[in-house]
Every structure is written in C-alpha cells, then in structure tokens.
Amino acid sequence: MVGRQFQWATADRLGLLTRQRLLRSAWLGVVIGLVAGGGAIVFYEGIDFATEHLLGNLAGYHPPAPLGEGSQDWSGPSRRWVLPLLLGAGGLLSGLIVWLFAPEAEGHGTDAAIDAFHHKGGRVRLRVVPVKLVASILTIGSGGAAGREGPTAQIGAGFGSFISDRLHLEPAERRRALAAGMGAGIGAIFRAPLGGAMMAAEILYKHDFEADIILLGLISSIVAYSVFGAYTDYTPVFGGAGSFSFTHPSELPYFAALGIACGLFGLAYARTFYGVTNIFKKLDKVGKGIILMHDFQKHTAEALPEVLRRLKAGGYKVVQMKAKAPIQTLAQYDEALKKDTKLPTVSKRPIDSVVQTISE
C-alpha cells in the first residue's frame, strides 16, 4: 500500500497519468459536464426568448440565426426607431444588475474566469452565474454587440468552482475544475466538444499550455455537448460545414492568407476593445477630487502618507492648499493640547515638528 501511494505521488510530481487521476477525471468530468450542459441549455433558451420578445415583438426585427440553429431568413426591423431605445435600455438594465449584485461579472467574462484561475484559487462566487446569465441574455436579446463565448466561459467556470466547493476539492483540483467548466460550456453551446476542451487548456496562458486540464476538459466537454445536443440537436453550428473538402495543395496559400487575415483582425479587435475599456475606466475617475489642508494633530499628520497613497490609487486628485504666509504653531496651543488630550503617541516630537511649513 505504501509502495502504491509512493508510486502515485511520484507520478503526480512527474505529471504522469495514474489510475486514480483517470478515475477522478472521469467522474468529476461527468458531473461538471452534466451541470454545464444544463446551464448551456438555459442560456440558449434565454437568448432565444429575449430575442423573440425584445427584438421581435418590440422592434419587429427577426435577425438571422446560424444555419445549424435555424435558417438565414430574417425580416425587419419594422420599427427602426425602437432599436436604439431598446439597445440602450438593455445595456442600462444589464449594467445595473451587474453593478448591484456581482461587479466581477462585468465585461465579456473570459478574463474574469482566467483571473479566478490564476489569482483566486479557482474560486468564483455562485451569484456570478445567475447574474452573468441574466445580464448577458438582456444584452444579446436587446441587440447588444455581444456573443455567447465570454458569458458561457464565465458561467461554466462558476459551475466548476461551485462543484469543487461542494466536493471540498484541493486548490489545484478546483482550478482544473474551473477550467474544465469553461471548456464544457463552450463545447456545448457551440457544439464543438474538442474545441471546448482545447480552448480550456490553452486560453489560460499567453505562451503556454495547461496540459493537466485536457483529459478532464475533454470528458466534461463531451458530456456537456451530449446533454445540450440531446435537447436541441447535434447539427454543427454552421450547418453545411461538412460539405467543404480539400482537393488540391494549391488551396493551401489561400487558407494561410485567410488565417493571417483573421489573426490580424482578431488582434485589432482585441486592442480596440481593451483600449475603449481603458478609456471608460479613466473617465470613471474624472471628477473625483479632495482638498487637503494641513492638520496640526500629530497622529493625523503621521497618517497622511498612507491616506494619500490610497486616495491616489483610487483615482483621486490631491489638491494642496498653500497659505499666503508661513504657518507656525503656537507654543501655548501645543501645551494646551498636550494637557487636554491624552492620545496615544509613537514619538516624543513636538507637534510643530510634524507640520509642514508652506511658504507662498
């Protein structure tokens, strides 16, 4: 028994696959896949319901769906003036829900899930799941320029974290479960289980790959895809993609050019997206200000450096008031203050030694 435990421990350190890890990945992947598949169904139906009642009934607009999820037929909008109002109302309501109940659910979702993997031990608050679900449904259903990938990734990550907490998994296993939940959600709602599993392993790093996640991610993604496909169908999202065929090597340069163009477009989109996000974050800091006047209380003056550091970090602009004449403390005031107040002190310096004299 001791020899077997030593063998498992050695295999874990070397990154080898043991029978114990295989069994754990199997049953944990099934559990994550079942939950993530159910969540994908709720998200899918929520988007369809919101789109039909908001864009369809209010604006008279029925946007085209992917070939594998309906048809390319579309109609409207018959009431164009409703679209900007609907879009603004949907964005406002979605933003308020996120701001009030789960601020970490802001943005497209994938970044928050990656941040939880690296910096929060794989923990995602359970409330993030319904908040992200409802906010994303409102945004997409009202015509917002958003997609399913980010919200599905964060919702799946939330499911993985929740299951880990219920099963009292170790931090390393919780992080793997979170990533597997991301891949399961993506694999289900896009009907691409292999793609979901590989995305969960590679999206966590810029120039690296989380190989430990592949097996768990693949199992959970296949199960989630099976659950989602059983409810809808197993037709690929793009429908007739299977009819494409590779016939001659001369086609390869065109595929290469397409890949380069898509990569450049993706890079430009990402930089534009984060650039606009940073602009609004800076605008959020505009208008904050505080006026600081010199305080003659020693304990207050000694606390100012830390206070100033926190204010500046929070985006506040510190305004310093300058006196027209030199400021000096009165000896009588110092003595009276020492007698009247019995505050804890950390030094024997006179009060005027901690007051900065400012000249015109």
In a domain, 168, yes or no: yes
**CATH number of the domain enclosing 38:** 1.10.3080.10
DSSP H helices, the chain, are: 2-14, 19-50, 59, 82-101, 110-119, 128-141, 149-167, 171-189, 193-202, 213-231, 252-285, 298-313, 331-340
> What is the rounded CA–CA span in Å between residue 71 and residue 77?
17
> What is the rounded CA–CA span in Å between residue 140 and residue 55?
10
> What is the rounded CA–CA span in Å between residue 129 and residue 157?
9
In a domain, 1, yes or no: no
Amino acid at residue number 193: P
Please list the residues that pair with 320 across neighbouring strands: 292
Residue finishing a domain among 213, 240, 267: 240
- Greatest Cα pair distance in the chain: 98
> Is residue 272 located within the same domain as residue 292?
no
Count of structural domains within the chain: 3
Retrieve residue 77's tokens.
Answer: 């909008």
Q: Is 65 helix (H, G, I), strand (E, B) or coil?
A: coil
Using pLDDT thresholds of 50, 70 and 90, give the confidence band for residue 63: confident
In a domain, 213, yes or no: yes
> Is residue 219 located within the same domain as residue 73?
yes
Q: What is the pLDDT of residues 297-341, one digit of tens each?
A: 555 556 666 666 776 666 666 555 555 555 566 666 666 666 665
Burial 243-274 (b: 16+ CB within 10 A, else e): eeeeeeeeeeeeeeeeeeeeeeeeeeeeeeee
Residue finishing a domain among 240, 272, 302: 240
Mean pLDDT calculated for residue range 329-355: 54
> Is residue 329 located within the same domain as residue 186?
no
Q: Is the pLDDT of residue 354 over 50?
A: no
Amino acid at residue number 64: P
Query: For 180, left (φ over 0), alpha (ψ -120 to 50), or beta?
Result: alpha
> Is residue 217 located within the same domain as residue 269?
no
> What is the rounded CA–CA span in Å between residue 189 and residue 184?
9
Retrieve residue 89's tokens.
Answer: 């109302």
Bigger pLDDT: 65 vs 351: 65
Q: Report whether the peptide linkage leading into residue 77 is cis, meaning its omega lies within 30 degrees of zero.
A: yes
Q: Is the pLDDT of residue 281 over 60?
A: yes
> Is residue 188 located within the same domain as residue 269?
no
> Is residue 41 located within the same domain as residue 28?
yes
Terminal Cα distance for the chain, rounded: 82
Mean pLDDT calculated for residue range 235-243: 72
Using pLDDT thresholds of 50, 70 and 90, give the confidence band for residue 74: confident
Amino acid at residue number 118: H
Mean pLDDT calculated for residue range 17-41: 87
- The pLDDT of residue 9 is 46
- The pLDDT of residue 262 is 95
Please give the mean pLDDT across all residues of the chain. Answer: 79
In a domain, 245, yes or no: no
Q: What is the pLDDT of residues 168-216, one digit of tens each?
A: 888 889 999 999 999 999 999 999 999 999 998 988 888 788 888 888 9
Q: Is the pLDDT of residue 56 over 60?
A: yes
> Is residue 25 located within the same domain as residue 137?
yes
Q: Which residue in 60, 63, 139, 62 sits closest to 96, CA to CA?
A: 139
Lowest mean pLDDT among 65-79, 100-114, 156-170, 247-261: 65-79
In a domain, 159, yes or no: yes
In a domain, 310, yes or no: yes
Helix (H) or strand (E) holding 320: strand 317-320
Q: Spell out the SS3 assignment of 138-203.
A: HHHHCCCCCCCHHHHHHHHHHHHHHHHHHHCCCHHHHHHHHHHHHHHHHHHHCCCHHHHHHHHHHC
Structural domain harbouring 277: 250-286
> Is residue 222 located within the same domain as residue 162?
yes
Bigger pLDDT: 133 vs 350: 133
Residue finishing a domain among 178, 205, 240: 240
> What is the rounded CA–CA span in Å between residue 143 and residue 135?
13
Q: What is the DSSP letter of 107?
A: S
223 Cβ contact list (under 8 Å, min separation 6): 29, 30, 32, 33, 34, 37, 184
In a domain, 3, yes or no: no
> Is residue 163 located within the same domain as residue 265?
no
> pTM for the whole thing?
0.71
Q: Is the pLDDT of residue 4 over 90?
A: no
In a domain, 106, yes or no: yes
> Is residue 228 located within the same domain as residue 311?
no
> Is residue 86 located within the same domain as residue 49?
yes
> Is residue 125 located within the same domain as residue 259?
no
Q: Is 290 helix (H, G, I), strand (E, B) or coil?
A: strand
Mean pLDDT calculated for residue range 288-297: 51
Q: Is the pLDDT of residue 278 over 60?
A: yes
Amino acid at residue number 265: F
